Structure 1
Amino acid sequence: MTGTEQAKALFFEGLEHHNRHRFLAAETCYRRALDLVPERVSVLVNLSAVLIAQSKFDEAAALCRRVLAIEPGNTECRAHLDVCRHAGATTRQRWLQLEQAVVAHPDDAGAHDRLGRAWLDNGDPRRALACFETALRLSPGDTSAGVHRAQTLLALGRADDALRAYLDCLATAPGSLVIAQAALAVLLEHGHAMAWTLHDPRVVRLLIEGLATPLLIPQLLAPLAMARVLLDLQQGGPQQVSLDALADMPVLMRVLVHARIATPELESLLTDVRCRLLAQLAAVDGVGALDPVVRLAVAIATQCWRNEYCWYETEAETAQVHVLATRIRGGDAMPFDVLALAMYAPLDTVLGDDRERPAAAWPDALTRLVSQQLALDAQARSAAASVPQLTAIDDATAARVRQWDDHAPSPRWTALPAQAARTPLAQFARQAIAGAPELGITPGPGGVRALNAGCGTGQHAVDMALRIDGLHLLAIDPSRARLGYAMALARRHDVHGIEFAQADLSRLRTLDRQFDYIESADALQHLEAPEAGLAALVDCLAPRGLVRIALHSRRGRQCIRHCRDWTSAQEPSQTIASIRALRQAILALPPGDPRREVTRFSDFYATGECRDLLLRTGEPHYDLVEVHAMLERQGVRPLGLEAPDAMQQAFVRTMPGARLDDFSAWDRFEAAHPRTFERMFFVWAQKPG
C-alpha cells in the first residue's frame, strides 16, 4: 500500500470516528494521515474541525491558515477560522461579531446557532432557545443546533423535552457518541420522574446500546435496565416465564452480561432460573436445539462471575455442583457440565490455565465464556507478579490485604465507555463540583501529575486516564491481586500513562513526590484514622493542587448500622457460604423491616463488597460540618462537593440564599433529606499556592 493509499484509509477511518463524535480517535487518524500527505486540504479541514470541537482553537486556526494559503476560496475553512476568532475575542467583541453575522446572514442557521450558544454561555437560556429554534427552522436536520437546543431545554428545567430533543438528534446522527451519552445522562438523572421513558422503543434501544458498547459505566445504567426487565415480566402475566422467552429479552441479556443485578425481585427470579437451567443442562446433550438455553446460561454464568457467586443455592444444587466439579477435574465432562458449573463457581478452580480445553463441538458462546474467564485470570496473575512495591506495608494493612487476597479481586468490571475527547483538569473539576468554582490551576508542560490512592481493581484509575487530558497517573493499592486485575484491564483498554504500584497510603511521604491532583475515593474509609491518611495525601499535594476524597455519611449509613448490629450478633464467618446465608436471611425479612434497607445498596449484590457492607466494624462516619473542619485542619481550602443537577436544584429551592459550596447549608439539607448522601460524600479541596 502506497503512502497516499494509507493516508486515504486513515482519513476515512478518522471520518468514521468524526461522524460519531469520537473526536480524540478522529484526531489521531487525521494526524497520521497528515504525516503522509502534509498538504491534503480535506485532511487539514477535518483536523481543524475536531480540534475546534476540543477547544484547541489556536492550532485549529493555524491549520485553517495553511488551507487558505493553498485554497483561498475554501468557505468551510473560513467558517472554522471565524469560530476560532470568536473564541479568542473579548466578550464584547464576540457579541458584536455574532450579532453582526446574524444581521448580515439571517438565513444562515450556523450564525443563529453560534449566537444561541453565546446566550447560553452567558446564562440566558430563553434567548438561546429562540436562536436554536430559528436555526432548526432554517436547517431542520442541523445536529449542532439540535444538541444545543437539548442542552438549553435542560438548563430551563424541561428534562422531558431535553431527552426527546436528544433522541431526535440521534435519529439524524445515529452513531454519535456525544449525543448518546448526553441522552443517557439525562435519562439517569431524571428518568425516575419520566414514566414514558421505559415504554419508548428509542429509549430501550439506547439502553441496550449503552450497556453493550458501553456508552456509560454499565452499572449506572443497570437500575433503568432492571426496571424495564421487571416491566416486561409484569406484562407477561403471573405464570412462570419460559427459559426461551427470557433468552429473547434483549435488555435482560445485556444487563446480565454487562452489569450486576441489584434488585431483590430480579435476584429471586434469576436464582430460580439458574436452578431450572442446571436441571435442563444435566438432562440433555444436544447443542443446536438448546441455543436459547445455552445463551441464557452463559449470561447467568457471566452475571454470577461478576457478582462473585453471591446468589443463594440449595443443598441439592451444592451437591450437584460438587459432582460436576469432580467430573470436570477428572477429564470426563461434557460441554454442558462446564456451562452448568460456570453458573456456580469460577472456572479456574476446575480448568486451571488450560485454555485449549474448549473444543470445536462446544457452543461458541460457551467457548468464549471459558476463554475469556481463564484468559483474564491468567493475565491478572501474571501482572500481579510484576507489580513494583514503592513502600513498606504496615502490619494492620497487610492483615487486611491477606483477607482481600484470599478471595478473587473485586469489584469485577470489564469495560468502560469511550470518551469523545479528554478534558483539561480544571474543566474536569469544575464540571464535577457543585457551583463550578474558579480554580486557577495550570498544569506544567509535563502534564498533570496525579495520584489515585487505593485504586483497587482499577476501574476509576482507567476512567481517569480516559477522561483527563495530559494525565500521568500513579495508581497505588496495598493488594497485589487487585493491582494485577487493574493492570490487565488497563491493557485491554489500551490505556497508557498509568503507573501501577503496591504502596501503603500512610507511608506516601517516603516517596518524596508531589502531585497536581490526588484522588482517594475508597482508601480513607478503610483506615482506622482517616484524617491521618488525609494528612499523608495533603503532604504529597503540590501548591494549588486539587484533592478529591470520599467519606461515609453518618445519616446515610444509619440503616446499615441496624443490619450490622443484627448480623454481628449471629457471629458470622467471612466465608462465601456464610455471606450467602446472611444475604438470604436479609432477603427473607418482611418488607418495611429496617434491617432490609441494605438491599438498596449496590454493594449488597456482590460477595466481596457485601462482606464489607455487612461485617465491617469500626467504620468511620461524618457529617459535612465535620468534613469541612477536617479539611481546614489539614491546610486545604474546601471547594465543594459533588451533587447531581437535580439535587442542586432542590438545594437552591429549599435553602434560599445559600451558596452551593456552603457545607453547613448542605448539612442542614441532608438533615431534612437523610438519603441525600447515603452512598458517600465526594468532596473537593485545594492546597494554597
Structure 2
Amino acid sequence: MASQTWLRLSQEAGTLVSNGRFHEAIMIYRKIAKANPRSPDVHNNLAVALRAAGLPEDAVRSYRRAIKLDPNYAIARRNLARALWQLGKSDLALEQYLFLLRKAPEDCETLQEALNTLGSMAFNKPSAIARRLLLRLFNSKNVDYQQLASPAAQLVIYNNELLVGRKGAENLALEKSSLGHLISKIMLDPLFVTILVWTIIPSKQLERWITSVRRCLLSVIVESERLVCPLDNLWAIAIQFQNTEFVQPTSDEELLLMDRFLEKTESPNLVQLAISAMYKPLTEINPNSEFWMKLRTEDHSNPCMRTLIEREIIDRLSENKIKTNIPQLTLIEDDTSRKVKEQYEVNPYPKWFTIDNGGLAETLGNRILKQFPGLETTGLDLERPEILIAGCGTGRHAISTAGRYWNSNVLAIDLSRSSLAFAIRQAQTRNQDNLRFAQADILKLGDRKERFDLIEASGVLHHMEDPLVGWHILQGLLKPNGLMRIGLYSKIARKRWEKWREAIPNNLDRDQTIRFIRGRREKIINTHDGRSEPLLSKIVDFYSMSGCRDLLFHERETQFTLLEIKEVLKQFGLSFLGFANCSEPTSLEFKKQFLDQANPLNLDQWNDFEICQPDTFITMYQFWCQSQPEKLFETQ
C-alpha cells in the first residue's frame, strides 16, 4: 500500500473513531494492518478502535503485536495497561508501567496513569508487582504521595499477618515485654515506614494498630520499663500522629498519664520524647524552639526525628514570619466569611507534604485546546494568561496550577492567613515565582479592575452563605469568553453521611473543639453503620483533625445536584464544557449506560448516571465552564 493511501485511510479511520463509528474504523485499520504488518502504529490504532468498540480482548492482542514490533513503544504500553486493567488483569497492567518507568523514571504521563490505576485498585492479598511499583512511585519527585496511601496501606496490611484484622492490636497489651521486637518486625517493611512519614494513612486497621502501640509505649515509659526498639521507628510512628493532628481515639487516662509524665520528667531522653510526640505537638512538649533546633543539629542518626523537627518547628517558625507580610486585598466583614476564616486559622486545610506537578508545563492555550478543540478564545490571552485561584487554602492546587501553565501569572486568595502562610512557604520551597498570594473575601472582589482568562474556585463556593452570589462575583472578573473551573459538593454523594454532620458549639475553646471532633469521630467508628461509616472510612479527610472538621463539622456547607448546577449555568450564561475529574473507568461506565446516546456534555444524563453510581463524585463535582462560548459547547 502506498504511503499516501495509507495516510489517507488512517485519517479516515481516525475520523470514524472520533464520530463513534468504531466498527467501520476497525475494517479500515485491519486493511491497513494487512498491507503494513510491520508497523507498530497501525496495530496500536487498530487496538484503540477495538477497545472503543467494546472488544478489549481483541485490543490486547493488537497492542501486544505493536509492542512486539517496538518494545519501547510507550503509548502502546500505556494503552495495553488500560485494556488489561479493564479485563481485571491488574498485575499484568502494572507490569507495563514498571517497564516504562525503568526506561523513563520521571515520565509524567506514565507516572500519572500508574497512579490512577493503583488508586482505583482494592487489594485483599499481597501483590509483589504492586509493591514494587509503589516503592518506585514513592521515589519520584513528580508524584503526590497521598494518592498512593490507600493502596500502600492495603498492601502493608496483607503483607503482615500481625496487622490483619484486630489480632495484632488486641495482643499488644499482653506482649509488652516483646513490644520493641514486634514494632521492629512490622516496620521492616519500607512501604509502611514511607506512608507513616509522608502521608495521612486512610486505614482503620493501621490506625487501630498505631494507637494500640502508642498506648503500650506510654505504659512502658510511665512504668520506667526497658524498651529495645530502633529509635527511628518510634519517630516514624510519631510523625503519623503529628500528620493527622492527633485525631485518633485517645482516652482521658492516657492524656492524664502523658501530662503527669512530662511534669515530673525534667529531661526526657530521645525514646521518651518520641513517645511523647505521639500525643502532643513538639511545642507542647518543650516550647523552646532552640531545644529542638539543637537536637536536630546534634543528632544525625535519626532521620525521622529530624524530619519531624523540620516540619513542626522550623516550618511553623517560617510561617509565623510569613503571616505578618501577607498582603490584604479586601476586608472580611461577612459573618459566614468570618466564621469560615476562624475555622481555617485554627485548622489550615488540607495538610500536605508532596504535590503532583501536573506533567510538563504547557501554555494554557495548548492544554485547553487539546481538551476542548474548537473552543472560542477571542479576547483571551492563552499564551500569558491571568489566572485567579479563589479559595486557595494551603496552596496545593494553586502551586500545581502555576506549574502547569507556562508563562501564566497566578493570583491565589484565601480568607485564612494561617492557610496562606503554609501555601507561601510551600511555594517558596518550589521556587514558584509566577504565583502570588493575598488575603481576600470573594464577596469583596466585585469592584476590582483586574480581569482573568481563567478563574478556578474548587471547594470554596459551597462554604459561602450564598454560593451563587460568590460565583456571580467571580464570573464578573472574567474576560470575554473567560474560563472557569468550579468545584462543588454533590448532594447525592454526601447524603450517606449527612446524619453525621454537625455544627461545633460556639462556646468551645481549642482543646474542647479537639475533644468534640475526636469524640464524634470515635462514635462513628464504633457505630458500625452499614452504609455511611464504611464509606467515610475510605475518605482521607476522615483521618486528620483538619480534614475531619472540613468533612463533617464545617461552619457552612451547601450541596448541589447536577440539575441544580445546570440551571445555574443557564441563569449565568455559562456553558458546560465537561468534567475535570472524570476517570476513564467512569467514562466507560457512562458510555455503557447510555450507549449510542451517550453525551458527555448532557447534565441530565450525568444526573441519571450519578443516581445509579452515587460514588462517582464522592469528593465533589469538578467541571469546566465558559462565558459566551461557541454553541458547540452549549449545555444540553
Equivalent position to 1:682, from 615, 622, 627 = 622
2:273 maps to: 338
2:603 maps to: 663
2:152 maps to: 225
Secondary structure of residue in 1 paired with 2:491: coil
Distance 1:379 1:673, change over 3 A: same
In structure 1, how many angstroms separate the alpha carbons of the residues matched to 2:107 and 2:385? 29
- Given residue 378 of structure 1, which amino acid in structure 2 is its aligned partner? L
Check whether the contact 1:604–1:613 (CA below 8 A) recurs between aligned residues.
Answer: yes
Check whether the contact 1:449–1:515 (CA below 8 A) recurs between aligned residues.
Answer: yes
Check whether the contact 1:225–1:251 (CA below 8 A) recurs between aligned residues.
Answer: yes
Any residues of structure 2 matched to 1:250-399 within 5 Å, and which? 250-280=190-220, 290-291=229-230, 294-326=231-263, 332-349=267-284, 350-354=286-290, 355-358=292-295, 360=298, 363-365=301-303, 366-397=305-336, 399=338
1:414 maps to: 353
Secondary structure of residue in 1 paired with 2:389: strand
In structure 1, how many angstroms separate the alpha carbons of the residues matched to 2:86 and 2:251? 53
Check whether the contact 2:196–2:240 (CA below 8 A) recurs between aligned residues.
Answer: yes
In structure 2, how many angstroms separate the alpha carbons of the residues matched to 1:507 and 1:473? 19
**TM-aligned CA deviation for residue 390 of structure 1:** 1.2
Which shifted more, 455-464 or 302-311?
302-311
In structure 1, how many angstroms separate the alpha carbons of the residues matched to 2:392 and 2:505? 32
In structure 2, how many angstroms separate the alpha carbons of the residues matched to 1:556 and 1:430? 31
Check whether the contact 2:458–2:485 (CA below 8 A) recurs between aligned residues.
Answer: yes
Residue by residue, what CA displacement relative to the aligned partner does 1:187-223 show, whole Å, maximum 9, x if unpaired?
A: 223x23x87xx63323102213324535532222222
In structure 1, how many angstroms separate the alpha carbons of the residues matched to 2:498 and 2:191? 34
In structure 2, how many angstroms separate the alpha carbons of the residues matched to 1:129 and 1:228? 27
Equivalent position to 1:498, from 422, 429, 435 = 435
In structure 1, how many angstroms separate the alpha carbons of the residues matched to 2:198 and 2:437? 25
Equivalent position to 1:583, from 502, 513, 521 = 521
Unaligned runs of 5+ in 2: 16-28, 173-181, 630-636
Check whether the contact 2:51–2:59 (CA below 8 A) recurs between aligned residues.
Answer: yes
Any residues of structure 2 matched to 1:614-633 within 5 Å, and which? 614-616=552-554, 619-633=557-571
Distance 1:143 1:280, change over 3 A: farther
Check whether the contact 1:556–1:674 (CA below 8 A) recurs between aligned residues.
Answer: yes
Task: Give aligned pairs, total.
Answer: 583
CA RMSD of aligned residues (A): 3.9
1:167 maps to: 98
Check whether the contact 2:382–2:453 (CA below 8 A) recurs between aligned residues.
Answer: no
Distance 1:369 1:504, change over 3 A: same
Distance 1:184 1:148, change over 3 A: closer
Secondary structure of residue in 2 paired with 1:575: helix
Q: Compute the TM-score of the two structures, normalised by the length of structure 1.
A: 0.75
In structure 2, how many angstroms separate the alpha carbons of the residues matched to 1:116 and 1:441? 36
2:112 maps to: 181
Distance 1:280 1:290, change over 3 A: same
- Given residue 229 of structure 1, which amino acid in structure 2 is its aligned partner? V
Secondary structure of residue in 1 paired with 2:160: helix
Q: Compute the TM-score of the two structures, normalised by the length of structure 2.
A: 0.80
In structure 1, how many angstroms separate the alpha carbons of the residues matched to 2:258 and 2:301? 21
Any residues of structure 2 matched to 1:520-535 within 5 Å, and which? 520-535=457-472
**TM-aligned CA deviation for residue 602 of structure 1:** 2.5
In structure 2, how many angstroms separate the alpha carbons of the residues matched to 1:357 and 1:226? 34
Check whether the contact 1:397–1:478 (CA below 8 A) recurs between aligned residues.
Answer: no
Secondary structure of residue in 2 paired with 1:488: helix
Check whether the contact 2:127–2:155 (CA below 8 A) recurs between aligned residues.
Answer: no
Distance 1:555 1:133, change over 3 A: closer
1:204 maps to: 131
Distance 1:129 1:310, change over 3 A: closer
1:550 maps to: 487
Secondary structure of residue in 1 paired with 2:573: coil
**TM-aligned CA deviation for residue 416 of structure 1:** 1.2
Secondary structure of residue in 2 paired with 1:474: strand
- Given residue 233 of structure 1, which amino acid in structure 2 is its aligned partner? N
In structure 1, how many angstroms separate the alpha carbons of the residues matched to 2:456 and 2:505? 36
Equivalent position to 1:513, from 430, 437, 450 = 450
1:66 maps to: none
Residue by residue, what CA displacement relative to the aligned partner does 1:110-137 show, whole Å, maximum 9, x if unpaired?
A: xx34555666788987999777645543
Check whether the contact 1:212–1:258 (CA below 8 A) recurs between aligned residues.
Answer: no
Secondary structure of residue in 1 paired with 2:493: coil
Which shifted more, 116-125 or 204-213?
116-125
1:142 maps to: 72
Secondary structure of residue in 2 paired with 1:213: coil
Distance 1:681 1:419, change over 3 A: closer
In structure 1, how many angstroms separate the alpha carbons of the residues matched to 2:466 and 2:341? 20
- Given residue 338 of structure 1, which amino acid in structure 2 is its aligned partner? L
**TM-aligned CA deviation for residue 176 of structure 1:** 4.7
1:488 aligns with 2:425: yes
In structure 1, how many angstroms separate the alpha carbons of the residues matched to 2:534 and 2:518? 15
1:441 maps to: 377
Check whether the contact 2:106–2:142 (CA below 8 A) recurs between aligned residues.
Answer: no
In structure 2, how many angstroms separate the alpha carbons of the residues matched to 1:119 and 1:444? 38
**TM-aligned CA deviation for residue 473 of structure 1:** 0.8
Residue by residue, what CA displacement relative to the aligned partner does 1:84-108 show, whole Å, maximum 9, x if unpaired?
A: xx99xx958x99xxx9xx99x979x
**TM-aligned CA deviation for residue 600 of structure 1:** 3.8
- Given residue 336 of structure 1, which amino acid in structure 2 is its aligned partner? V
Secondary structure of residue in 1 paired with 2:247: coil
> Sequence identity of aligned pairs in percent?
24
**TM-aligned CA deviation for residue 338 of structure 1:** 2.5
Check whether the contact 1:640–1:685 (CA below 8 A) recurs between aligned residues.
Answer: yes
Which shifted more, 336-345 or 545-554?
336-345
Distance 1:668 1:134, change over 3 A: closer
2:550 maps to: 612
2:178 maps to: none
In structure 1, how many angstroms separate the alpha carbons of the residues matched to 2:144 and 2:578? 24
- Given residue 551 of structure 2, which amino acid in structure 1 is its aligned partner? L
In structure 1, how many angstroms separate the alpha carbons of the residues matched to 2:480 and 2:534? 46
Unaligned runs of 5+ in 1: 1-81
1:4 maps to: none
Distance 1:352 1:461, change over 3 A: farther
Residue by residue, what CA displacement relative to the aligned partner does 1:323-351 show, whole Å, maximum 9, x if unpaired?
A: 355468x6x33223332222122213433
Residue by residue, what CA displacement relative to the aligned partner does 1:360-417 show, whole Å, maximum 9, x if unpaired?
A: 3574232342233211101111222111111222242553255225525232111113
**TM-aligned CA deviation for residue 178 of structure 1:** 4.1
Distance 1:119 1:178, change over 3 A: same
Check whether the contact 1:132–1:145 (CA below 8 A) recurs between aligned residues.
Answer: no
In structure 2, how many angstroms separate the alpha carbons of the residues matched to 1:406 and 1:547? 27
- Given residue 461 of structure 1, which amino acid in structure 2 is its aligned partner? A
